[in-house]
Amino acid sequence: MTQTKKRTLPLETVGNVNIFQRCSKGYFRLKWLEPDGTRGDTSGGPTMETARAKAAAIDLRLDLAVGPLAVTPLRKAVDQFVEEGRSPYPHKRTNKPELWKPAQKNNIRKALNRCLHGHEHLRAMDIDLDRKVVDAMRAQGGTYHVVRQNTSALRAFLVWAGKRKYISYAQAEQLPRGALAPDPAYPRRSRLIEEANSPARRRRIGEAHQYIRDEDAPTPRQVRSICAQLAASFPLWAELAPEFAANSGCRWGEQFQLTADDAHVDGCSEDPSAHMHINWQINPSGTADEDRRCLPKGDITRRAPIARESFTGYPLRAEMRKRVEQARLEQQAGTNPEGLLFPAENGGMLWHTSFNADHLLPAMERAGWPIDVYEDTWHQWDGKTFVVRVSRRRDARLTWHSLRHRFARICVDDKKLSESALMAAGGWINIATVQNRYYRSGDEANNQATAAFD
């Protein structure tokens, strides 16, 4: 007669997890059944308290499982999602999922591969409800732009996985649009290695922190030098562009979309004085295959002055008249179809990034403008992992936008314009900004105080 082995009963049960008595090493054992039918077995620790806590965590994870697919590794599920190659969201018009274009599919694959870095061991059921796993995955990058890309791809994957029963609807709904973004896991580190030779900026009593002084804007010598250095790239308008920016207050996007039709050197029915109509700006998010213009900042149009003579002594109005006539001839010849006043080499509109990196910054260095040099340490995704890169970056102390600051100082210090007149001329929409940046220097209060005791 064979003797049957006596079955060991659990000491306690926490949901779907059984806690068994200590083994020979003195640790409690935890046993359970996975959603696919396989048996789970692990240590519960040396005390009943640790065993109960670990059993509760396992039971919570088991409750998230919606079926056998819940034990699928995330790597396998992601590959299946990308292989299908279609959006999980219904198209607005057809109400059916839309197939991805090759470039879109490749970008989603890259983003999800970044998200999975360091999380390849996880299964679908391991996506917890407190968003720790999801936030750790989408934080895989060095910038907030990459985090946003990761978030978009991961949100689509979660929706797809919820519909395919890899995860529950509660797990799939963790990333609503507008969800707070985590900090990047690999932020860029910058170290100043070469500082421009310029005096430290000290704030006077009563002076707003953002106050723009005369020394915070380009000098006449600096403007003339940048004009000369830009001539190598843009001989048609290199001298005119910086002079016009410093004497009109146009923002970069406003200035580099201007056409000959916008210039009224002899005035017009609206205004008899020489001026430029600022009705548009270059759309910073525009693409090459669409209209790259949009309304100016704040949707405010205005008229910018065209001075007879620049603050450097340059004959600005006469040179603008010549450039307008020249642009019209270029338009007739077909080399400048829009009649742009400041076109690119091919006759179209410039791009801000390439203009700064390829033309303006090298010209500033040759002209002797103050430049800071930084050493950046950053992480680049190579398709499999994040590789540490080190590069040098140059930052101009005085940017193209500082020419707009020079215009404001001319208006306030030389032309004695009121705050409202400066707002109208430069397109500022917040009077507090104008007051703090250009008017409230503290000199008047200091002079009054010292004069009282003189």
Same domain, yes or no: 77 and 57: no
What residue numbers bound the domain in which 294 lies? 192-439
Q: What is the pLDDT of residue 34?
A: 75
In a domain, 451, yes or no: no
Structural domain includes residue 34: yes
266 has a pLDDT exceeding 80? yes
For residue 431, pLDDT beyond 60: yes
Q: Which of 242, 249, 222 is nearest to 407 (CA)?
A: 249
pLDDT tens digit string along 91-134? 766 677 788 999 999 999 999 999 999 998 898 888 888 899 99
276 with 396, same domain?
A: yes
Pair (284, 405) in one structural domain: yes
In sign, the C-alpha dihedral spanning 242, 244, 248, 254 is negative
> Predicted confidence band at 159 (pLDDT cuts at 50, 70, 90)?
very high
**Rounded average pLDDT over 189-218:** 78
Any domain includes 282:
yes
Q: What is the pLDDT of residues 269-320, one digit of tens each?
A: 999 999 999 999 999 888 887 889 999 998 999 999 999 999 999 999 999 9
How many domains does the chain fold into?
A: 3
Q: Model confidence over 379-390: pLDDT tens digits?
A: 999 988 999 999
pLDDT digit string, tens, across residues 229-265: 999 999 999 999 999 999 999 999 999 999 999 999 9
Q: Does residue 401 carry a pLDDT above 70?
A: yes
142, 172, 202: which is the final residue of a domain? Answer: 172
For all residues of the chain together, what is the average pLDDT? Answer: 89
Residues 317 and 256 grouped into a single domain: yes
Both 216 and 343 in one domain: the answer is yes
Among residues 356, 374, 372, 370, the alpha carbon closest in space to that of 188 is found at 374
Shared domain for 328 and 383, answered yes or no, is yes
The C-alpha atoms of residue 16 and residue 422 are separated, in whole angstroms, by 72
Same domain, 83 and 17: no
Provide the pLDDT for residue 205: 61
Task: For residue 172, give the nearest of 199, 154, 193 by alpha carbon.
Answer: 154
Residue 443 confidence (pLDDT): 64
Whether 446 maps to a domain, the answer reads no
The answer to the question of residue 297 being in a domain is yes
Q: Is the confidence at residue 355, as pLDDT, over 90?
A: yes
User: Helix, strand or coil for residue 33?
Assistant: strand
| 232 shares a domain with 354 | yes
Give a yes or no: residue 5 inside a domain: no
What is the greatest pairwise CA distance in the chain? 122
Give the pLDDT mean for 424-430. Answer: 90
Which residue stretches of 277-401 are H helix? 316-333, 352-354, 361-367
Lowest mean pLDDT among 5-9, 82-86, 212-216: 5-9
Q: What is the pLDDT of residue 214?
A: 83
Examine the pLDDT at 39 and tell me if it is beyond 90: no
Instruction: Say if residue 324 is in the same domain as residue 402.
Output: yes
Residue 372 covered by a domain: yes
Residues 211 and 282 in one domain: yes
Range with lowest mean pLDDT among 24-33, 56-65, 106-115, 154-163: 56-65
Torsion of CA 382, 384, 388, 392, to 10 degrees: 10
- What integer pLDDT is reported at residue 24 of this predicted model? 77
- Is 33 among the domain residues? yes
Quick one: 82 and 60 in the same domain?
A: no
Report the CATH number that the domain containing residue 406 is assigned in CATH.
1.10.443.10
> Of 143, 138, 96, nearest to 119 (Cα)?
138
- Indicate if 163 and 262 belong to the same structural domain: no
**Do 179 and 168 touch, CB atoms closer than 8 A?**
no
Name which of 67, 98, 84, 101 is nearest 157 in CA terms: 84
Name which of 53-67, 134-148, 157-171, 354-368 the model is least confident about. 53-67
What average pLDDT score do residues 322-339 get? Answer: 96
Per-residue pLDDT, 2? 55
